[in-house]
Structure 1
Amino acid sequence: MATDLRPNVDYGPGEAARAGEILRSIVGSTVHGTNLEGQDDVDQLGIYIPPPEHLFGLAEPRRGGTHVWRTQPEGARSGPGDIDLTIFTLRRFLALATSGNPTIIALFFVPDDALVLRTEEGDRLRALAPAVVSQQAGQRFLGYLHSQLERMDGAGKQNRVPNRPELIARHGWDVKFGSHALRLGLQGIELLTTGRLTLPMQSHAREQVLAVRRGDVTRDRTRFLIDRAALELRELLGDPDLSRRSPLPEHPDMDAVTTYLAAAHRRSWGWT
């Protein structure tokens, strides 16, 4: 619920996004199984196919076509039960997915009960995973890990002032950043070695992340666990036999992705 009388966040072409939406899922800590009861908002990610005038017209769609809707007003932090929704165009989603963005590719592996909206086109998109998810994602997981680690340490351009002061007061450091960094390392290793992400996380890995998030693990021990996961991920990425050992292709199949994109738009517009 909104904490003041200001309007909630509502950016981008919301009407077009909701009309053309083909898939929406719960994402974030809820789907990873690393949320703490009564302490988390609900992150949702959707994909839509825009109308032809948004792609071929001269007027630029607002916010590049991305629709963002939050329960809270601009500048207010989300709290327990709040919803943070982002709906990407199909093209933008696949651009991020083929680059290996960890948040985005999770949508290919979420369980069915995490899906808020599901269509036949959304099922076709999820079936495209073998052409989209590649070994390149490993490097993105490692990069995101280091970004979270920087913020855990109070460094990095986005973290000059902690945005979760209650965690600093309670634990002396931001345990949530630590839990994110560890999760990214463990999931990057799983993805490269098995070709998929288990969601929610497997029990042993999930408990490690939750222990950090609860503040049950010291900062030094957390850094050791993160460094160990990062080292294993770096070694995997540097392994000359990775292409043979990993179930994932070395690179995305961009021809297959482009063919799907064109066909999906034609189906949506009735141009088949």
Structure 2
Amino acid sequence: MARQILRIQFGSHLYGTSTPSSDFDVKSIFVPDARSILLQRAKRVVNDQRPKAEKEKNYAGEVEEERFSLQRFLELASEGQTVALDVLFAPAWAATEPPAPEWGEIIANRHRLLTRKSAAFIGYARQQANKYGIRGSRVAASRAALKLLADAFSSTDKLATLDVSIRALCDTHEHMALHEDRTPHGQTVILWEVCNRKMPFTASIKNAHDIMKRLVDEYGKRALMAESQQGVDWKALSHAVRVGSQAIELLDTGFVTFPLPNAAHVLEIKQGKLPYQEVAAEIEDLLVRVEAAAARSALPDEPDLEWIDDFVASVYRTEVLGAV
């Protein structure tokens, strides 16, 4: 039987944003049983939740638990995945029961798992800014790209035929640039990036036009959403602000505080009490601050993977020998 290392309250109860209608989100870490380890059948993640219909929400007080093997948890932490980092910095009061001794050793070596890349934190903040931000410069870049493609519309000509015009646009528009990439066969490919949408020069003008048309339409819908505030995913917006704030604290201090220092503000967003445009602008600003924090951070570039391997091997070895 798997041995538990840690079990904590997660989600809104950890962040300080819970309401009477909130469910209980629980995360735990376990050591697989000896037989599973020896047979290499140890589960990495186990989800305990009731089957639900599509879009069915949890009821107030419902408990959902996600359990990670020790090895998987440390992998996620070393990758900077937000779920693991939240667990890693959860205070003692969040534990539902006393943790096993291994947890104390993990906390003592927490610095070995952190990096300035904090890939998931930064990636999530960037993704949410691109998704929810409607800064005018983004709209202008997407519309300029669409106009160029519409004027040169062709179902067969490649994007490369517009090389000169595209480079001219990139010189005059923010959120637009050219990048080089390599195919698996070693060939160099030029990518035109507009508002985080990347289009290879080998693509047809028609395909690029369709991509930009969808982006411009998306921005149009988002602008209407900002005016009416109908259909806004406020929970997702609150997560974007939460993660951006956590990323800045982690990159600057090597620590994440719970409950969230800005818990009241995050809860206001979650409940839809602030204007969409204001929140979207905040997410855009957070992204700029996260990128700046990553550039100045004193955290190491890479996690200590050797320590992770040694620690997991030691714990699993002890588990196997103890079962003999």
Short-chain TM bin: 0.7 to 0.9
Give the Cα–Cα distance (whole angstroms) in 2 for the partners of residues 173 and 150 of structure 1: 15
One of 246, 263, 276 as aligned partner of 1:206: 263
Q: Does the aligned pair in 2 maintain the 1:171–1:215 contact within 8 Å?
A: no
Please list the CA deviations of residues 82-109 of structure 1 after superposition, one character each: whole Å capped at 9, or x if unmatched: 1110111111111111000011111121
Q: Which moved more, 1:169-178 or 1:118-127?
A: 169-178
CA 125–270 in structure 1, closer or farther in 2 if over 3 Å, else same: farther
Give the Cα–Cα distance (whole angstroms) in 2 for the partners of residues 131 and 175 of structure 1: 35
The TM-score normalised by the length of structure 2 is 0.64
CA 80–170 in structure 1, closer or farther in 2 if over 3 Å, else same: farther
Please list the CA deviations of residues 222-270 of structure 1 after superposition, one character each: whole Å capped at 9, or x if unmatched: 0001110011112233x2xx3xx52x22211111111111112223334
SS at match of 1:116: coil
Give the Cα–Cα distance (whole angstroms) in 2 for the partners of residues 212 and 264 of structure 1: 42
Deviation at 1:125, TM superposition (A): 2.3
Q: Trace 1:102-181 onto structure 2 (pairs within 5 A).
A: 102-117=82-97, 118-137=99-118, 139-148=119-128, 172-181=231-240
Counterpart residue number, 1:24: 7
Q: Does the aligned pair in 2 maintain the 1:149–1:178 contact within 8 Å?
A: no
One of 300, 306, 321 as aligned partner of 1:255: 306
CA 236–32 in structure 1, closer or farther in 2 if over 3 Å, else same: same
Greater Rg by CA: 2
Q: Does the aligned pair in 1 maintain the 2:30–2:70 contact within 8 Å?
A: yes
Aligned residues: 228
Q: Does the aligned pair in 2 maintain the 1:142–1:185 contact within 8 Å?
A: yes
Deviation at 1:51, TM superposition (A): 2.0
Give the Cα–Cα distance (whole angstroms) in 2 for the partners of residues 250 and 50 of structure 1: 31
CA 79–144 in structure 1, closer or farther in 2 if over 3 Å, else same: farther
Deviation at 1:152, TM superposition (A): 6.0
Provide runs of 4+ in structure 1 moved above 4 Å.
Answer: 146-153
One of 227, 236, 241 as aligned partner of 2:293: 236
Counterpart residue number, 2:51: 73
Please list the CA deviations of residues 42-66 of structure 1 after superposition, one character each: whole Å capped at 9, or x if unmatched: 11111111123223316x45xx442
Give the Cα–Cα distance (whole angstroms) in 1 for the partners of residues 126 and 62 of structure 2: 28
Give the Cα–Cα distance (whole angstroms) in 2 for the partners of residues 28 and 191 of structure 1: 18
